[in-house]
Amino acid sequence: GDSVTQTEGQVALSEEDFLTIHCNYSASGYPTLFWYVQYPGEGPQLLFRASRDKEKGSSRGFEATYDKGTTSFHLRKASVQESDSAVYYCALGANYGNEKITFGAGTKLTIKP
Amino acid sequence: AQTIHQWPVAEIKAVGSPLSLGCTIKGKSSPNLYWYWQATGGTLQQLFYSITVGQVESVVQLNLSASRPKDDQFILSTEKLLLSHSGFYLCAWSPGTGGNAEQFFGPGTRLTVL
């Protein structure tokens, strides 16, 4: 079945540091890949998505590029802020006619001022 | 603008008691609807989805059931709660079909089973 692997369970950085959260997936065909962000006590909200090889998604200074060759969709940000502290989820949606969405385990990002 | 409302905000229930959680979407006709469960500190597990009134598909079996009695309403229920049902329940809607559409999540219901 489909799966999403996020390598980092927790990341702690200082303001203005560079961020990378690794996401690798396993699925057939061309799934759609998502990054969602969740703040405490709230539901997740979409950061961005990508549906094709080499497509780049971006929002709020975060970006990720769909790489079918390495089956990856790593999240990056050049300079993090304290307000970026949240849990980040990589997710995968199948493109073959069903509604199943598979989420990764999540990465808790803490930014120290 | 579309709004999604979940009720109740939080519940504390006894093992073996029944449960009913609700979700309503306003401002969007014929949305795709979803239920997710999130253990404390855990990932999101998709439970059910519905593309149309009266039709619900199960993704995982957790001794829960779901129904869609109206176009804008999605209900999650069980007759007998287990300790393992504790967690955060999220309803979501999507404007499109297939797994490539953005999902919009509600504020969630926090369930504690004692």
Residue A19 has pLDDT above 70, yes or no: yes
pLDDT tens digits, one per residue of B58-72: 998 789 999 999 999
Contact B105, B33 (CB under 8 A): no
Residues of A in contact with B59 (CB under 8 A): 100
In B, minimum Cα distance to A106 occurs at B43
Structure tokens belonging to residue B93: 């809607």
Picking from A43, A45, A93, the nearest residue to B99 by CB comes out as A93
pLDDT tens digits, one per residue of B82-109: 999 999 999 999 987 767 788 999 999 9
In B, minimum Cα distance to A10 occurs at B41
Q: Amino acid letter at A98?
A: N
Choose, out of B4, B36, B103, the residue to mutate when testing the contact with A (most A CBs < 10 Å). Answer: B103
CB contact under 8 A, A103 and B105: no
Closest CA to A10 of A113, A93, A108: A108
Closest CA to B110 of B5, B7, B16: B7
Give the span between the Cα atoms of B103 and A109, in whole angstroms: 22
Give the span between the Cα atoms of A91 and A31, in whole angstroms: 10
Place of tokens 């999240």: A75
